[in-house]
Structure 1
């Protein structure tokens, strides 16, 4: 084989395997359980050159295919490990990989993946002070260096900093999660704290280049231009539309305070340092290979989008593209096609754009589905929702069908009435202004604190829905600061504007179709076509998406470009 990768199912290892395969190499992936192959298939990687082999590096290695290049990306990366757990992989496992590599007659290079704090540390590994993870990585680093020298193994060590990218949900991700959920009152560390980053794509390309470079170099792989931690947090907060903490708490103080107060994992505190690192060799290798790091701020924003899309690893990311955009001066969560959608989908309460996932999968052509301002994952807007909607649709260059649900039917109706040339049709699903005086959510008499405490199961029962990922996402959003309060405010505003919407419905000039569930019928007659879906309630697009898709299939063509 050209290469064998130990730890091939890990965050770094699987990205490295994908990179090597894309370069046409023959790769053996040493794993304990094969979760790699389906992951590679999902990434669209050709696996013709891949061989998956079973290996347990905590034991002496035998029976593996030989390889020119050996990568050890295996590690136990977790906090709170016992010393035996951490040492089994990070020390014993690292030595076992090296001992096996030393037996290969055609070995070109052993690449050991360490850590930017590990190789920069002085003194003996202090398990009591550093914790099992970092101390074991430090011990393994020294053991590998010493034994490689004894055996004459051509060794290179890569010391990546905090690695970010799709699939990374630990480390710095925990800090971003606390920021997103409003649980980060202060930035840990001082104003000069430096927590450098490197993207997973860049790191994989860098690792793939090491064996062809001169041996003996050990590389600190990180972005020297990573913002200091307070600025890093501000960058992410501004992108997500949440408030960044203004205060910092020194790491020395965090070490003295109980974890129950700080919420900080003690083993992470050693990473809160102002230290800088010797990156000259890594920069030279990157320059020779033509590698360029993406700007740190851009990488952080893209990663933050992924973290929010996946609920920090708890859910599928859903339709792509996705991310935060500036709409009418506020940070808005948007999924789908922003310029040429065939359908624009506006959700009702207390949901978010995920409400449309089952339906969107059945619609022809691209869709655009935002979270309404102040709801779901979107930040609140200082401007009226009508201004926000006009801002959302200003880049659109098609005449889409505007599809709205419940409370969103009012703003959609007003936009269609004011700009009939911008839409080809209007579909109102369970329009609140034509139904009972308030939704089931409002009639239940829920207070804001109760909404914030709702589990996915409780919310599903309240709304009369099955417990689906879409409902779970809505429940998670309700726990974010301010969202539950804004849901209640929006319900009250909807009640106040119903007469206006009813009057406007008779004057709108674009084709209108109304869809309701048989268990949630209209209470007023209308002059427009009405489709009643048997067995559906207030959310037919979630419970009966195929039937709703058939209704939308009868709507006017939506992909005609604008002439303006």
Structure 2
């Protein structure tokens, strides 16, 4: 093998394996259970050079294939660990990897992953917590044993690693920010929590065996903004309010955790310390590596965190992200269909239907709803801005209360629209009594569980409803849903009049259990057995009525 990677199913390990395979190396991945191969397949990484081997680093290692380069990315990374559990993986495991590497006749380099806060630190289990203390103990032990055995060792000390799949540490703070649970920041204006992107770290690690042995590399972005500015950057991108106050770390330590919500083990990472990055920067320059701008990396990571609901869901459409505060999924330039959701849902409403539609899709969350930030613009101006980069003549597919804005855009810009599909248009129907009774007040709507919301909407409890319920719990969203319902109700008669003037082809789809109550001169397709959300319950039938 060119390389063997221990901890190959972990966040850093699997990315390193992908990087080495992309470079054409023959890689052995040492794992307990093979969750790596499916992940590599999901990332379209060719695995012809991959060998999966079973290994438990907490025990002496035998029977593994020889390798030129040995990477130990294995670690038990969590807060609240017991000392025995933490030491087994982080100390004993690290030494077992080293002892095995010492038996390799052709060893070029052992690369040990330590940490930017633990390198050469005293392993204080009482003060630091089991995770950080065990990593500090391992750092000292690995260096000492490597000197005794004459092992060619390089230690990499990465900072907070961000990227797709990272949901620990700083991600918890971002989640609290997103859900309105971050009234103040721990630390002060000088608190420095440096980041490094997973992609950059993987490339850096892949280059290390060509560098001189015995080096220590602090791998982090010195340009990372101080914590208040870092949080402000993410908040501005997501369209949420950043906390204006800071609370000294010492005070947070003294307060009960049930009040602060802060894990005591995370507080040691909140400091104004700076780190010796000169050697890492020099090596990166020699290897031709460049970090992406920190602000861009933070914004991209925030997009991934929101898209995956902080590891609670999988995005159904890509690319995705915030654009000027609006959450947008799909092709913003050449869509075949533009999908506008109704209430109280978000763009995830369209996932079942999208599987049956040909061509690219553009699916936003309406302003102030779902994941999108509110805007001072009228909805019609917002929709015009959304459509401005579009270079095709897509079909507009709108649901319920979104049918009004879609209709007005088609009337104002018929040359920009190939057709109009109105699903359960609210202005042609009586208000749903079950829904109206269930969400008379925003506080009630915000408190609804996914199960209760599904029952109120007459839908099965599925990912689309769970996604909507999660957004409704965020500050202000439920209140804006109620406001949007009232505004649309006031526009019913005007929308009916506009429907008779539109010049683009129009298809109207309703469920048999949710019929129209007003006449229209356009063709109406009734879907047997469907209610107000046929795109969820009967997506194939809806797709057959949508122009390609």
User: How high is the TM-score relative to the length of structure 1?
Assistant: 0.96
Query: What corresponds to 2:83 in structure 1?
Result: 83
Among 327, 330, 333, the residue aligned to 2:327: 333
Partner of 1:561: none
Q: Deviations over 1:165-198 (max 9, x none)?
A: 0000111100100000000011111100000000
170-179 or 429-438, which deviates more: 429-438
CA distance in 2, matches of 1:24, 1:163: 25
What is the CA-CA distance between 1:281 and the residue it aligns to?
1.1
Residues 337, 396 of structure 2: 8 Å contact kept: yes
* 1:393 maps onto 2:393 in alignment: no
| Distance (whole Å) between structure 1 residues aligned to residue 352 and residue 434 of structure 2 | 22
**Distance verdict in 2 for CA 1:394–1:440, change over 3 Å:** farther
Flag the 1:120–1:293 CA change in 2: closer, same or farther, 3 A.
farther
Distance 2:147 2:275 in 1: 24
Aligned to 2:514: 520
Instruction: Name the CA distance, whole Å, in 2 between partners of 1:99 and 1:10.
Output: 22
Q: How far apart, in 2, do the equivalents of 1:207 and 1:118 lie? A: 18
- 1:170-181 aligned at under 5 Å gives the runs 170-181=168-179
Q: Which of 404, 421, 434 is the equivalent residue of 2:415?
A: 421
Q: Any stretches of 5+ residues in structure 1 without a counterpart?
A: 558-564
1:48 counterpart SS class: coil
Provide closer, same or farther for how the CA distance between residues 50 and 445 of structure 1 changes in structure 2, counting only shifts above 3 A: closer
Indicate the SS of the match to 1:381. coil
> What SS does structure 2 have at the residue aligned with 1:403?
strand
For structure 2, the residue ranges without an aligned partner over 5 or more in a row are none
State whether residues 8 and 36 of structure 1, in contact with CA within 8 Å, keep that contact through their aligned partners in structure 2.
yes
> Hey, what's the Cα distance between the residues in 2 that align with 1:166 and 1:37?
17
User: Residue 183 of structure 1: SS of its match in structure 2?
Assistant: coil
Alignment correspondent of 2:133: 135
Is contact 1:432–1:439 with CA below 8 Å preserved after alignment? no
The one of 369, 373, 388 equivalent to 1:375 is: 369
| Mapping for residues 435-514 of structure 1, pairs under 5 Å | 435-438=429-432, 440-514=434-508
1:112-123 equivalent positions in 2, closer than 5 A: 112-119=112-119, 121=121
Q: Is the 8 A contact 2:398 2:421 kept in 1?
A: yes
Question: Do the aligned residues in 2 keep the contact of 1:442 with 1:491 (CA within 8 Å)?
Answer: no
Which segment is superposed worse, 149-158 or 431-440?
Answer: 431-440
Q: Is the 8 A contact 1:375 1:487 kept in 2?
A: yes
- Shift in Å at residue 73 of structure 1? 0.2
Q: Does 1:364 align with 2:358?
A: yes
> Who is 1:145 aligned against?
143
Cα offset, 1:450, TM superposition:
1.6
Which region of structure 1 is more displaced relative to structure 2, 486-495 or 295-304?
A: 486-495
Change (3 A) 1:506 1:292: same
Is the Cα–Cα contact under 8 Å of residues 120 and 140 in structure 2 kept in the other structure?
no
Pairing 1:271-420 to 2, within 5 Å after superposition: 271-326=269-324, 331-420=325-414
- Out of 183, 201, 204, the position equivalent to 1:203 is 201
CA offsets 1:90-127 (integer angstroms, 9 cap, x no match): 00000110011111111000000000000053xx3111
* Cα-to-partner distance string for 1:53-99 (whole Å, 9 max, x where unaligned): 00000001111111000000000000000000100000000011001
**Post-superposition shift, 1:250?**
1.1
- Aligned Cα RMSD in Å? 0.9
Pairwise CA distance, 1:307 = 0.3
**What residue is the counterpart of 2:67 in the other structure?**
67
| 1:81/1:365 CA distance change after superposition, 3 Å | same
Residues in 2 aligned to 1:54 and 1:509: alpha-carbon distance in whole angstroms: 65
> Do 1:110 and 1:153's aligned partners in 2 also have CA atoms closer than 8 Å?
yes
Q: Measure, in 1, the Cα distance between the counterparts of 2:81 and 2:356.
A: 46
Instruction: Render the CA deviation track for 1:285-334: whole Å, top value 9, x for unaligned.
Output: 111110000000000000000000000010002200100012xxxx1000
Task: Map residues 32-71 of structure 1 onto 2, 5 A cutoff.
Answer: 32-71=32-71
Distance 1:357 1:464 in 2: 18
| In 1: Cα distance, 2:226 partner to 2:438 partner | 47
CA deviations 1:401-423 (Å, max 9, x no partner) are: 11100000011111111111111
For the residue of structure 2 that corresponds to 1:421, the secondary structure is: helix
C-alpha distance in structure 2 between counterparts of 1:383 and 1:234, whole Å? 23
TM-superposed deviation, 1:445: 4.8
Check conservation: 2:438, 2:445, Cα contact below 8 A. no
CA drift at 1:458: 1.2
How far the C-alpha of 1:397 sits from its partner, in A, is 1.2
Paired with 2:99 and 2:331, the residues of 1 have a C-alpha distance of 52
CA distance in 1, matches of 2:215, 2:494: 72
Distance 1:446 1:137 in 2: 53
Distance 2:16 2:503 in 1: 57
Pairing partner for 1:224 from 222, 225, 228:
222
1:258, distance to aligned residue in structure 2 (A):
0.7
Could you say which residue in structure 2 is the equivalent of 1:560? none
Partner SS, residue 514 of structure 1: strand
SS of alignment partner, residue 545 of structure 2: helix
Q: Give the TM-score of the pair, scaled to structure 2.
A: 0.99
8 Å CA contact 2:163, 2:301 repeated in 1: yes
Q: Per-residue CA shift, 1:499-533, capped at 9, x if unaligned? A: 11111111111111100011111111211011111
* Distance in 2 of aligned mates of 1:384 and 1:363: 29
Structure 2 equivalent of residue 252 of structure 1: 250
